[in-house]
Structure 1
């Protein structure tokens, strides 16, 4: 979508007139094009659902999984909200779109994804779709509306002005200082100033499920589906939740659904970071300073996270039930995806930051195609692959180079398909709220190689022997051949995607690759 077309969309939005299908759009009947719904979640780990043998009973998500192609080794592009979402909606890396950092937050350089990047929303609109968007966007003010969405709701960024000041976490900083002061008080003087809850990590919300922002998004999503069912145009919709993003805040019964005393901390909980990049020791957001947290608080935080997943499962069930009631469901393609994972104490880390551990890098992804047999695909795939896949399904016009590759062959034939596609996934962490890192990570079923161009230490993990990524093997002579193979794979992917750091990679890896 070019900037002139974006300006046309802006004029349409400014008129406040309801969108009306043109004759060309009306002629594109639902039977000619596929209906698609994306269910998107924020900081949702891949390993929590009961269908993945996780600790939370998720019957509604499990039922969807039984009807879907499940990508069990799906990787985000960046463990950070804005760049991962920009990559998903465009199918392009941040060095092409200009969106390689969070927008609108403390120290960030960026305020929005440029309107020249129309992405799936504008492409669907141009192809004659009825387009709806509910919930978190995080790619700039009015961005969904300016790209032509017919229906929008519960988008908190929608009223931002373009001159908005960055969100600066003074309140969070103050709370963390209070937590540390209480933790460091003499034993006899320690007090629970927080009623057993540290609200920057976990909190019991007042009210019930019906009082939550999650429920508001469900109601708006149901309204979107009912409107879509009455349309003559095909339907493309996104319902994007800001759960289970930390801090983990849920009402009852979800706050006490899991007893912390019955839960276990992971094997790499607070593991010492030996031979790791220095940046992993830096608290880039106030709540990243977790020095005040006790093990029982980590367990409580985990219990609240699990409660958030249980609440999300309820939301998913309600949305899917409405899709069935409106008769959309039978022929509806559904993408279930998280923008990235999240850290719950593994390696002593919380939330997200400039690193590439599996708990952050991996994400849930499943695609329900009514015409495709459900199956599990174990090949490494990328968030970048979603846009080219949907563009193929929805017959969307091309909009430039795609770094992702369609998943259709894998969906139809499983792991044995697309033999020319290497079983790798690339990950990048260019910026974190204004700080440059330039991290690139490449994952295969056996190994992970992390290049840290801003540090003297790179990382290599043997995922077969060390799936929790504690032992960095980069400087181990016995792993030199594996390191060489991974570096060559990374270089090939950097070259394929026109990565601007390729020449720097060649310089730093000169001795290894000669």
Structure 2
């Protein structure tokens, strides 16, 4: 039997229920088709409600306690990462690649500085460097998966492939300013605006473009494993046009339970989400308060935020469709296992909470999973729990 190819597609901070086929008003025609052609696991659990531990767990197949990445800011040791699924498949003769957000090491970590994802260490890597990294033969990375208005972006000579492309080729001097600019006035929803950045310059488009290019130019005599890693719909909710206008705020879904109930929960929930961060670094402390948290929002603000969140998912969906078309055009679709899931979810206003972590709420840890490929029954469903480690 011919060994199947593998395409793992992940989003970042996408709720399990944010698909059209789940009854939400978010427009995801290509993911809906993927679900219809494959099997949907409705109880796929991530072991962490924040990015870095969740991603290290996917790669290594081990829990955060075992692989050592227990929180954001803790780097995955290279010798552990290289023993993950990419390294194992590479040794078995697969051509392995990762395109997009890795986040196995943190941008802000200054020790060790040699990691290609560190804003200091990345300056030591040539623009022509493409791996190997954490078991992947080929990588094309975003060093900074998300830009924030309160934090300057990583720019060349620091950064990796996306930063070099954006700041040296397409965006040059005005790209970041366009990203910060608004195409229409907002109503004050936190970390939410209609970005003036051209969609062709957006990170989701770049991930789609580079993935399609890799599929077109890979060695055809080798099975392959490609991890396509979109950095959205993670905040800030900065959706570009035309996707930013795709969903009307008045039409989006709202959580069934909007009232905050931290007073009914263990004391550390409120302390962690609303208390003073116990951090010595003033810059990190400011970011934790302003970038990783969100003040209470009005219903109108939550609707605007959700409309942007939906738009970012629809942009990812569009690029998933492009990747699936490329697989079909290359005659690879019927011999490729395609997996779609997310690293963790988002509260999105549920119980008056926003964004993510650190508590294990259902909205954060149940990410769902779609699997399509040889031997997988189309339209099937599975409610038994699985994990992203599987």
TM-score range, shorter chain: 0.7 to 0.9
Once the two structures are superposed, the pairs formed by residues 202-351 of structure 1 within 5 Å of their partners are 202-228=192-218, 230-281=219-270, 282-283=273-274, 285-287=288-290, 289-291=293-295, 293-351=297-355
Q: Which position in structure 1 is the counterpart of 2:372? A: 368
* In 2: Cα distance, 1:251 partner to 1:157 partner: 18
Q: How does 1:3-22 map to 2 (within 5 A)?
A: none
Q: Are residues 264 and 131 of structure 1, via their aligned partners in 2, closer, same or farther at CA, if it must alter by over 3 Å?
A: closer
The equivalent of 1:123 in structure 2 is: 88
**Residue 164 (structure 2) aligns with:** none
- Give structure 2 stretches of 5+ with no counterpart: 106-114, 118-130, 152-183, 278-287
> What is the alpha-carbon distance in structure 1 between the residues aligned to residue 200 and residue 212 of structure 2?
14
Unaligned runs of 5+ in 1: 1-30, 104-109, 159-166, 173-193, 386-514
Q: Secondary structure at the match of 1:343?
A: coil
Equivalenced residue count is 320
TM-score under structure 1 length normalisation: 0.58
Closer, same or farther in 2 for the Cα pair 1:149/1:117, shift >3 Å? closer
157 and 233 in structure 1: CA distance in 2 versus 1, 3 angstrom threshold: farther
Q: Check 1:363–1:252 CA distance in 2 against 1; reply closer, same or farther (3 A cut).
A: same
Secondary structure of 1:245's counterpart equals coil
How many angstroms does 1:72 deviate by?
0.9
- Give the superposition deviation at 1:146: 3.1
Query: CA 1:210–1:279 in 2, change beyond 3 Å: closer, same or farther?
Result: same
CA contact (8 A) 2:30 2:320 kept: yes
Question: Normalized against structure 2, the TM-score is what?
Answer: 0.76
Cα distance in 2, alignment partners of residues 349 and 234 from structure 1 = 44
Match of 1:152 in 2: 139
In structure 2, do the counterparts of structure 1 residues 312 and 117 end up closer, same or farther at CA, with 3 Å as the change threshold? closer
1:437-471 deviation digits (Å, cap 9, x = unpaired)? xxxxxxxxxxxxxxxxxxxxxxxxxxxxxxxxxxx
Cα distance in 2 for partners of 1:74, 1:292 equals 29
For the pair shown, the structure with the greater C-alpha radius of gyration is: 1
RMSD: 2.5
Per the alignment, in what secondary structure is the counterpart of residue 308 of structure 1? helix
| 1:292 Cα deviation from its structure 2 partner | 5.3
Using the alignment, how far apart are the partners of 1:114 and 1:101 within structure 2? 17
- What is the Cα deviation at residue 358 of structure 1? 1.3
Distance in 2, matches of 1:132 and 1:238, equals 6
Aligned pairs for 1:14-93 (under 5 A) are 32-93=2-63
State how far apart, in whole Å, the 2-side matches of 1:214 and 1:117 are.
Answer: 25
* CA displacement at 1:333 relative to structure 2: 0.5
- For the Cα contact (< 8 Å) 2:102–2:141, is it kept in 1? no
* Greater share of residues in strand: 1
Instruction: Indicate the structure whose relative CO is greater, using CA pairs within 8 Å and at least 6 residues apart.
Output: 2
For residue 160 of structure 2, what is the aligned residue in structure 1?
none
2:386 paired residue among 367, 381, 393:
381
Equivalent pair of 2:21/2:32 in contact (CA under 8 Å): yes
Q: Look up the SS of the partner of 1:202 in the other structure.
A: coil
| 1:169 CA displacement | 8.1
Taking structure 1 as reference, are residues 311 and 235 closer, same or farther at Cα in structure 2, changes over 3 Å only? same
- Distance verdict in 2 for CA 1:170–1:220, change over 3 Å: closer
The answer as to whether partners of 1:214 and 1:243 remain within 8 angstroms in 2 is yes
Cα displacement (A) at 1:52: 1.3
Superposed, 1:382-397 pairs within 5 Å as 382-385=387-390
